[in-house]
Structure 1
């Protein structure tokens, strides 16, 4: 595996070319100045939009300013992510953030103003000035929010309170990323090292059970110690969400979160009920895991160790890229050729270097191109990460190239479909082209564990969020004891009786950052189930399936997520896609068991 002590050592071809956004800092400074000036102009529209032309002038200026702002903010974000220790990059990002607050404040008047207009007046304006038809759908969509938008003065106050309301999330972020220390652990070589999150994800998969146990205990120790503090931050985040939902007249916090995507509450409930009704194959897999590992007692720190030993193979980035392109052939020539060009054009930042942000992501910058951040480790997991992020990147590319700016972005609800379709195509390709039985078993194990992590675990988290928000809505207390009890009950239900529960299990909720972005993780599960169905249909080679799927990738946010998915043949208002995905999970467990 290639490791680099400095970014300077990484081949240029494996780094981002940020000159695609700004060739020099002076251009960034000029854009910052320009947004600053335009923010003042936007503010001056407050109280002065009184005809079709002034409405059009405001909207055009607002879109142009928003576009430039996003570009300059993303540029600073990339600089910080490439080296989080870089103080110059941090100060640029701080300046961009402060400008963002000003921009948000300057435009906060607009939604209350728009909704104070009579709908017939707005429609008259749209007929009068031709350019307003570009904004028509978004303007009329705003009327859906009419009863949820507060009077102008209250909206301004909420806008000013933005930072205070995000304090629980920021506090947890500081505790989780900056303050928590996991202490020392002993590696299998007998070396004492400080435990990090990255190291934990490796050690929890170690063959040596004592190494796994020690890492597990060390990892959970600070969360157990800070249990009451973290409970306080999560409780505040949930109560803030519930209070805002009430203030904005939503029936519940859950329905507030589902509102923008026009997702009925039944989709969320369906997901939880259908998963729990089909949980048996997961319990069966847990039994197989216990038998395969030859354990008298299966514990939580035994759930991630691969069940097939000694199949680690080194896959260089170039090799991973080639394998990816072959596996995605069912998506058609244009898809594969376009993706091939991403590597030559340096849309990837490939290597892990000191100070670089961990993990991986794709960010599609409209008018520029997608940017993919990786921390490639030359292994199978890195191949899957590459394929996953390229699913997002191609979704960004297709949407940006086939939609106007106003509808080029896509919601998270559909985002996970594009990435997971790619992963499923990859695993099916690898299983088909692997003669080695051991490797086949390893890939099946990988597929099953990915299923467990993306579908079952996220549904478990979704139920935790639903129960804790409902408690807050009823005015019931939320504290460490309550969180521990709710989490442990759900964990037991999902994981079955084969697991012997360590004390640490019930503290699992306290380490999940997603809970500070409420009712978001269920989209991973619905996306995963949808992707399983689409990928398997693509492999059948029906031309209309490919055509429908590519249309979906080109659609951005031109329709609501459920409608976009229905065009691919997936109807999430019914339990079938979830049941079908869980049936496939059962088949995979059977196949693994038979091998």
Structure 2
């Protein structure tokens, strides 16, 4: 059974156990009081850090506060997510959020203070107090930002303008989530109803092409109507990013975004260049899609419908978990046994129930364990989601087990690697186990489409961000017409000659929230490519591959992401991982075509 009318019906062993964080709300409140007290004490350090001892006292207390605050916030978050209608849970999450803001404000003086010191003074403090070596890497990393920090007065002005500078993103969020009204679609009984996002995803996979076409036009209707308004918000967001980057002495907005992870601009450029040089297999797949669908013209609303029908079989949760464990055997007995225990120890909330947050996620909690939210539907898609999220969960678990608190968390740059490695191992296992051609073809098609969404589409988005920021940096206008032209040109280039382009295609940029978090989407593609190379090393039983990969999972943020991946065997400063991933895509298309 995969659908339940209430949470009470779900077996206990398929619900996560939040008592692993706090045994009761009273215990949670005790920690809230501890955080309140520490927040007051931390604020008192402002202007009073004068030597290594006071610096150590501040940093130790700040880390302790961070530990307690994470528990308080996650405990509240998990309870809201299993029932978003629960007012009591919402109330404690509000309380936790306000507490988090208060704590952040209390320590906001610290970064400017550290950057006001000479490096020699800080090194003197570290040599003074042995315990400061624990914080040394983080403190010294802050000094990388010194050339990009303005005067105290200017930094204060920028901080005060923070809310105003983020308004384009907030405005788009309100337009996209609250104000947009999609066009009408026809139900099976002939009644006209307003399209919703959930309906749109399903209708794009409908066998009836007229229904797909109707849904496509209804979905894009508000984006076409609001084209100038949304162009204004995105233009403002890009220009703000460009202006702040210039003010802070970065060579470009792109390099400002890459700075924290110490990623050279060449990594971004090589990703786009290598992908553009290997678009032919993707174009060939579009041609295959057109032929298999039997349409005279392949259009955008034909890109989501599965090409192999009647294979998606029922896979109960317990069977899915066992399949996943078998598929992950190349990671070794200890990995598989640990992951098997996650199910029995109730780290996972499995079932869809009324009011539960949609989708799936992993939330690692240092000092406790990972918590995984699913909405498992006993099908192939849910099996892949399970493998994906448990990849994240094992990354969180192993990093927390092997790293101190300060380096236990991993960066977004490497976040999708562990999840995608699991998916690649799973697809290979299922292909090896499949006994009929139809099932095999279905699996290959499913992974090709996954590759398309996680890699090609994200690189195209990254290309759009780079082009539009460069236009702003050159002082060129960013109007709706400019955005439409740039996006349509890229869409045509990436999707190839076998597509016929509806008028709506050029408005695609206007529906992407990620564009308000600039130069973020490329990490999906680099993570995906890195994961394919790592998974292939595991499958080929390459010497040292398993040990190097497990060490990567244990490393948290103990080094910069490119260095961690190099140690695991992937060098993203070269084109090799991208080219290997694209070669794998070519193999998938070849098999699907029957070559």
Q: 134-143 or 152-161: which moved more?
A: 152-161
Scaled by the length of structure 2, what TM-score is found? 0.96
Paired residue secondary structure (1:520): coil
Q: 513-522 or 296-305: which moved more?
A: 513-522
Q: 52-61 or 241-250: which moved more?
A: 241-250
Q: 52-61 or 356-365: which moved more?
A: 356-365
Q: Counterparts of 2:538 and 2:214 in 1: how far apart (Å)?
A: 44
Q: Counterparts of 2:207 and 2:325 in 1: how far apart (Å)?
A: 32
The answer to whether the Cα contact below 8 Å between 1:126 and 1:132 also exists between their aligned partners in 2 is: yes
Deviation by residue 1:176-208 (Cα, 9 ceiling, x = unmatched):
233334354335576765533233222211222
Give the corresponding residue for 2:133: 133
The answer to whether the Cα contact below 8 Å between 2:471 and 2:478 also exists between their aligned partners in 1 is: yes
Q: Counterparts of 2:483 and 2:195 in 1: how far apart (Å)?
A: 26
Give the corresponding residue for 1:255: 255
Give the corresponding residue for 1:146: 146
Shift of 1:90: 3.1
Matches within 5 A, 1:260-275: 260-275=260-275
The answer to whether the Cα contact below 8 Å between 1:108 and 1:155 also exists between their aligned partners in 2 is: no
Give the corresponding residue for 2:429: 429
Gaps of 5+ in 1: none
Q: 477-486 or 125-134: which moved more?
A: 477-486
Q: 472-481 or 262-271: which moved more?
A: 472-481
The answer to whether the aligner puts 1:317 opposite 2:317 as a matched pair is yes
Matches within 5 A, 1:190-201: 194-201=194-201
Shift of 1:562: 0.8
Paired residue secondary structure (1:50): coil
Give the corresponding residue for 1:27: 27
Paired residue secondary structure (1:215): helix
Give the corresponding residue for 1:38: 38
The answer to whether the aligner puts 1:16 opposite 2:16 as a matched pair is yes
Q: Counterparts of 1:81 and 1:487 in 2: how far apart (Å)?
A: 36
Matches within 5 A, 1:23-172: 23-172=23-172
Shift of 1:7: 2.5
Shift of 1:147: 1.2
The answer to whether the aligner puts 1:417 opposite 2:398 as a matched pair is no
The answer to whether the Cα contact below 8 Å between 1:187 and 1:211 also exists between their aligned partners in 2 is: no
The answer to whether the Cα contact below 8 Å between 1:223 and 1:510 also exists between their aligned partners in 2 is: yes
Paired residue secondary structure (2:351): coil
Closer, same or farther: CA 93–153 of 1 in aligned 2, 3 Å: farther
Q: 308-317 or 428-437: which moved more?
A: 308-317
The answer to whether the Cα contact below 8 Å between 2:150 and 2:248 also exists between their aligned partners in 1 is: yes
The answer to whether the Cα contact below 8 Å between 1:105 and 1:156 also exists between their aligned partners in 2 is: no
Give the corresponding residue for 1:374: 374
Q: Counterparts of 1:504 and 1:323 in 2: how far apart (Å)?
A: 42
Give the corresponding residue for 2:584: 584
The answer to whether the Cα contact below 8 Å between 1:185 and 1:195 also exists between their aligned partners in 2 is: yes
Closer, same or farther: CA 5–177 of 1 in aligned 2, 3 Å: farther
Q: Counterparts of 2:312 and 2:591 in 1: how far apart (Å)?
A: 21
Paired residue secondary structure (1:22): coil
The answer to whether the aligner puts 1:356 opposite 2:356 as a matched pair is yes
Closer, same or farther: CA 470–85 of 1 in aligned 2, 3 Å: farther
Paired residue secondary structure (1:373): strand
Scaled by the length of structure 1, what TM-score is found? 0.96
Shift of 1:132: 0.5
Closer, same or farther: CA 594–332 of 1 in aligned 2, 3 Å: same
Shift of 1:365: 0.8
Deviation by residue 1:489-544 (Cα, 9 ceiling, x = unmatched):
11010001111111111111122121121111101101111111111110112351
Shift of 1:351: 2.1
**Once superposed, which parts of structure 1, at least 4 consecutive aligned residues long, lie more than 6 Å away?**
none
Q: Counterparts of 2:520 and 2:280 in 1: how far apart (Å)?
A: 26
The answer to whether the Cα contact below 8 Å between 1:204 and 1:215 also exists between their aligned partners in 2 is: yes
Q: Counterparts of 1:422 and 1:584 in 2: how far apart (Å)?
A: 16
Q: Counterparts of 1:342 and 1:37 in 2: how far apart (Å)?
A: 35
Deviation by residue 1:422-467 (Cα, 9 ceiling, x = unmatched):
0000000000000110000000101111111111000001011111
Give the corresponding residue for 1:548: 548
Give the corresponding residue for 1:340: 340
The answer to whether the Cα contact below 8 Å between 1:112 and 1:150 also exists between their aligned partners in 2 is: no
Gaps of 5+ in 2: none
Give the corresponding residue for 1:326: 326
Closer, same or farther: CA 393–149 of 1 in aligned 2, 3 Å: same
Shift of 1:141: 1.2
Shift of 1:84: 2.9
Shift of 1:358: 2.0
Q: Counterparts of 2:409 and 2:574 in 1: how far apart (Å)?
A: 26
Closer, same or farther: CA 453–194 of 1 in aligned 2, 3 Å: same
Deviation by residue 1:130-158 (Cα, 9 ceiling, x = unmatched):
11011011111111111122334444444
Matches within 5 A, 1:467-482: 467-482=467-482
Paired residue secondary structure (1:350): strand
Shift of 1:124: 1.8
Give the corresponding residue for 2:408: 408
Matches within 5 A, 1:485-496: 485-496=485-496
The answer to whether the Cα contact below 8 Å between 1:112 and 1:151 also exists between their aligned partners in 2 is: no
Paired residue secondary structure (1:374): strand
Closer, same or farther: CA 85–564 of 1 in aligned 2, 3 Å: same
The answer to whether the Cα contact below 8 Å between 1:15 and 1:348 also exists between their aligned partners in 2 is: yes
Q: Counterparts of 2:530 and 2:560 in 1: how far apart (Å)?
A: 15
